[in-house]
Structure 1
């Protein structure tokens, strides 16, 4: 029997079901996850709890009739007495099992028809089956389902370490676990090889798996992980297999629904059918509108795709170029739908119309696809498409800022700056980099980025970005508590701002100047500038209106108007909650609690 590792909690759970009220249990999960190993261990440990343990396997697409015949042989029925035809064999199984405590173990079930016909004969029996497909029939017939997952990192390290018996290489063992994706079969294959060939350096073996994926996991010339993946892919429909070959060219192992939609080019019903089939086979895992697949599955799919296109290397480049171009266009279209009033720079922003979706849908799609943005940029770099990188980064600037992704905002600007020398692109990206540093509370770096952006803004005679740089420098000066300098820079920005976005820019500058005046100890000027800002913002700009209400509460408090301040804080809290600005919510709640304590003491 294969050495058993780690699944002790799962073993206890299934044992409790099988010996308790839940007599039919299904172990489910992708190929290589350890269903058969756990199943065998359970059958061994439960032997004393049953009069008989029967085994049937559908591996290799064995017909149900053959499995029924094998069960009858294990029940002691002579070969000549095994009837012909499924109904007769099922009836005989029922009679032979009657009055006995029987555990029936069915391995490698793939379709409902393989086991549902047998169930009437097993009413009084315990049934333990393993299945590598998501089957509705399991719940329909009352099975308790235990879906197995990859090992935790610590459990995987413990398993590998116990098998290879090497000392002093903990970091390498953890790296090996990572490249195997914590898949039990892959870990067992890797550990078995390293146990037999102890002279092979771990670092060298890890590099082989990184390069070859499942193909690098050999045991005595066999490739067990690659073999089970081949079976899984062979059983897919042509449409699902084609989808896997295309998905293989996506960078990384996670992707959003709109990326999949653009890549597959299918109508919604056909797309959903393909995705459902891949989920059913545990090739893909879904989390709301995100998808992922195991790293070894992704590598295997890519190897299949490259073999499929072995004579067409140019076709691979064409597919990858189509992927990054399609992703860039869709991302910019969503950004324009989310921020319809924002002016974007670059030829794609001029060419691509806003996506025909609501702002809420656009935000949801961008949030879901955030996992693939960096991988897409890396792929675009490999393809020499730097112009796509900076335009996508620029389109998403405000989304990064509004969702407090300041680290990502800074990282993506720096990456985009490394692949473009275009003066317009550098002006835009340096300005946005400054705002990222400002969001992280790093005023010195923000100031440097804004000053670097000023030069191309002046050379290009771009007043809107000149004003934006002045705004950024003003905010950096505010963070450094240089309030007079900050106000002067924002006043200059007000005079410089032009274009269709000038009204909103003036509203922003007034809001900033009101906040700075309050910090500088001038609440009356602060109140006037905040009221000006409120009158300039559109009603739809709920986030900034909520921020203004919070600042107004602080002004009331600075003026000693505590009752008015309490009302303003309550209003600000409601508005901040509605606008989903958690950091400001926390600030408002803390300040309101402090104010209420002051009022209680006063009373």
Structure 2
């Protein structure tokens, strides 16, 4: 019987084969339809090189080493590109596909299908998509199975045959909604590859995940420019107005869809500048202005909003009530009055849908600006259904109560701070550090919407923390808010407390006259209300402000380094005497009320004032009494501060070794309590005491450590002071070059911060060290500048000291010339 032989080459046959004697069928080398549906890439694609590289890395053909790996290791050939609506997922997939085709990574071509997963009117079933893909692969219609599962099996078999014949294929399934929508389209051979784009994170697909963020400002501006130059190659509006372009990009939230629409609005009106368009968009909600024809940002978000459950939609709307940049899971639970585990699950699901994003820390969530505008519109529309006012009240109460519990760890008068819920001071500080922007925003929101109690109480609760972290600008702002709110509603107790805090914050930024006024107003309020204890506190703080208004840091001896600087008390002590009077009044009030802690504070501050009036021995006894009371009340931080003040007083009466011991004891307490500000102050004063005992190298180390602490805590004023003291110690150690550098650094900080007194002291000390190394002209120049500064400030005492050092420099210069 004659032998029948069939040969099929150059392709893959799906369907009936032709049988006959010695028949050869030669198929075309490639199926043209495989790539016919791939959209064109946009010429404005920019700012995504890193994302493109990551995606291309996952599409590379398997190399020789990959061929030998086991099947499980080769199975990750799917990349899931996720992100917010309008972020550019499809464009990235198309750009990657075209780049990969250009590199001949997919000889079999690309199969592209848009499943419209978020559009109910156009959503495609996976079975429909498989029918189209099988047709593109050359399967005749009559051989395509009826059921989706059968179609998927045939589809995967054909893809595997293509792979076996070196015809690797890339599949792009765009806009899928659920894992089930994408699973049937994935290859299973470990050679062919797939890209899925989605608005949900589909971690269950065993795919490499690539979540897209919005563009950075440079990429966004470049996209605007590219889009305009396509419409008109000579359009230079973007490079000619880069500031306006950057502002426009920010209003667009750096979202590619919004940027394309903004570019279209600019392109149709050649006279419109980016700055003007930005202004127009800010006059309305940008999400409403960013629309062009049927395409708009709101429309894209609406499609995403349809997918979540009603419970998820409600939380999405309520999240806009949070006034800060992001929100914790705990705060979201307070907002909804739901158990935290249930709310956490909903938040995770919303993040998968890219309606919200994970924040910068675990358990925190945030919204893109344009999404927030969209959600806020929905929230206002559903205010009654969502019980919006009650939700805001719950959130504000959560912030207030939790802040009180956290600050309890910083308040020495709280007996059991752990009872509030935070197990340690460090946990409390960590929460406060993270939540401060939200707490500040919550206080302002409360004032705006009529929750006056929160606008008063929350700033008052945060006072200890803001002082602890040296956040004086925030402290002033929040205390002013509390004062104004209390005054508006006639809450005299709240007004007095806010005035007291405001005065303390103003002292720290050296706005002494304003601080004195604030404390005087607080005293008047508390006298009116009959609150003797608060009146005493206000009197004490008034004394601090009065003292600081005339006090030179550390009696100036730390700076001038000359004998007569500490022989007599500072002149013009009237305000110090006023301070002494205020402290004595506070002391009487505290003793009358049996307030031991208040009595200790009054004694400590009275000691400082006595010191400044020249009654140093009395100050020492006063400090010792304060130490006894602080120890009895368990206020270790107050004890450490008083030991520091005692050391200064002991040094003034030349009891230097006792001063060193006092400072070392205070330093140990500051380190145990985590008082970094107090640690810096004590190290600085320890350095001065060590200098007086001629242990100058130890003094240098102490000042250097103080400078590090001040720099880390952002206390620029104290950093400059410590640098000047370091310069003195280095001069005594005959390390003159380092001393000059230290004084110059301190001088630079004083000039940056506008501290004219500190600048004068730095110049005086700089002149002294320059004179010591025979750089007389520079020394004279520094001395003259110091004299001028003190004369302009009306500081006769400091002017006299600076003038004396200047005369020494002039005499030394004259002698050297002779």
- For Structure 1 versus Structure 2, the TM-score category normalised by the shorter chain is 0.7 to 0.9
Q: Deviations over 1:155-210 (max 9, x none)?
A: 22232244354736554433322222111111112221332355678646744466
Counterpart mapping for 1:97-496 below 5 A: 97-99=163-165, 100-137=167-204, 140-141=206-207, 143=208, 145-164=209-228, 165=235, 167=237, 170-198=242-270, 203=276, 206-208=279-281, 211-220=284-293, 222-282=294-354, 283-288=356-361, 289-309=363-383, 312=384, 315-336=387-408, 338-339=410-411, 341=413, 355-358=420-423, 359-421=425-487, 422-457=491-526, 459-460=528-529, 461=532, 462-478=535-551, 484=570, 485=573, 491-492=580-581, 494-495=583-584, 496=586
Q: Among 19, 22, 37, which residue is 2:60 paired with?
A: 19
Distance 1:263 1:39, change over 3 A: same
Give the aligned partner of residue 347 of structure 1: none
Whether the 8 Å contact between 2:684 and 2:702 is mirrored in structure 1 is: no
Q: How many residues align?
A: 586
Whether the 8 Å contact between 2:700 and 2:726 is mirrored in structure 1 is: no
Whether the 8 Å contact between 1:27 and 1:35 is mirrored in structure 2 is: yes
Distance 1:576 1:12, change over 3 A: closer
Whether the 8 Å contact between 1:279 and 1:285 is mirrored in structure 2 is: yes
Q: Which moved more, 1:9-18 or 1:510-519?
A: 510-519
- How far apart, in 2, do the equivalents of 1:231 and 1:508 lie? 65
Tell me the CA shift for residue 333 of structure 1: 3.8
Is 1:554 the equivalent of 2:679? no
Q: Among 108, 113, 124, which residue is 1:56 paired with?
A: 113
SS at match of 2:124: coil
Whether the 8 Å contact between 2:85 and 2:199 is mirrored in structure 1 is: yes
Tell me the CA shift for residue 443 of structure 1: 4.3
- How far apart, in 1, do the equivalents of 2:604 and 2:336 lie? 42
- How far apart, in 2, do the equivalents of 1:225 and 1:404 lie? 42
Distance 1:456 1:163, change over 3 A: same
Which runs of 5 or more structure 2 residues have no equivalent in the other structure?
Answer: 1-39, 63-75, 118-122, 229-234, 557-569, 606-622, 624-640, 737-818
Whether the 8 Å contact between 2:87 and 2:256 is mirrored in structure 1 is: yes
Q: Which moved more, 1:502-511 or 1:404-413?
A: 502-511
Higher relative contact order (CA 8 A, sep 6+): 1
Q: Which moved more, 1:475-484 or 1:330-339?
A: 475-484
Q: Which moved more, 1:361-370 or 1:491-500?
A: 491-500
TM-score (normalised: structure 1): 0.82
Whether the 8 Å contact between 2:651 and 2:689 is mirrored in structure 1 is: no
Whether the 8 Å contact between 2:706 and 2:722 is mirrored in structure 1 is: yes
- How far apart, in 2, do the equivalents of 1:313 and 1:83 lie? 49
| RMSD of aligned Cα (Å) | 4.3
TM-score (normalised: structure 2): 0.62
Give the aligned partner of residue 143 of structure 2: 81
Whether the 8 Å contact between 1:180 and 1:186 is mirrored in structure 2 is: yes
Q: Which moved more, 1:128-137 or 1:385-394?
A: 128-137
Give the aligned partner of residue 8 of structure 1: 49
- How far apart, in 1, do the equivalents of 2:358 and 2:178 lie? 19
Tell me the CA shift for residue 472 of structure 1: 3.4
Q: Deviations over 1:379-426 (max 9, x none)?
A: 222223333212211110121121122221122223333333144333
- How far apart, in 2, do the equivalents of 1:535 and 1:569 lie? 11
Rg bigger for which structure? 2
Whether the 8 Å contact between 1:11 and 1:42 is mirrored in structure 2 is: yes
Give the aligned partner of residue 815 of structure 2: none
Give the aligned partner of residue 231 of structure 2: none
Whether the 8 Å contact between 2:483 and 2:498 is mirrored in structure 1 is: yes
Whether the 8 Å contact between 2:691 and 2:699 is mirrored in structure 1 is: no
- How far apart, in 1, do the equivalents of 2:728 and 2:61 lie? 57
SS at match of 2:254: coil
- How far apart, in 1, do the equivalents of 2:53 and 2:537 lie? 66
Q: Deviations over 1:31-57 (max 9, x none)?
A: 211111121122223323222111133
Whether the 8 Å contact between 2:318 and 2:386 is mirrored in structure 1 is: no
Counterpart mapping for 1:511-522 below 5 A: 511=641, 515=645, 518=648, 522=652
Give the aligned partner of residue 45 of structure 1: 99
Whether the 8 Å contact between 2:648 and 2:685 is mirrored in structure 1 is: no
SS at match of 2:551: helix
Whether the 8 Å contact between 2:452 and 2:485 is mirrored in structure 1 is: yes
Tell me the CA shift for residue 556 of structure 1: 2.9
Whether the 8 Å contact between 1:53 and 1:104 is mirrored in structure 2 is: yes
Whether the 8 Å contact between 1:334 and 1:362 is mirrored in structure 2 is: yes
Tell me the CA shift for residue 81 of structure 1: 2.1
- How far apart, in 1, do the equivalents of 2:548 and 2:173 lie? 67
Distance 1:428 1:523, change over 3 A: farther
SS at match of 2:406: helix
- How far apart, in 2, do the equivalents of 1:437 and 1:585 lie? 19
Q: Which moved more, 1:404-413 or 1:357-366?
A: 357-366
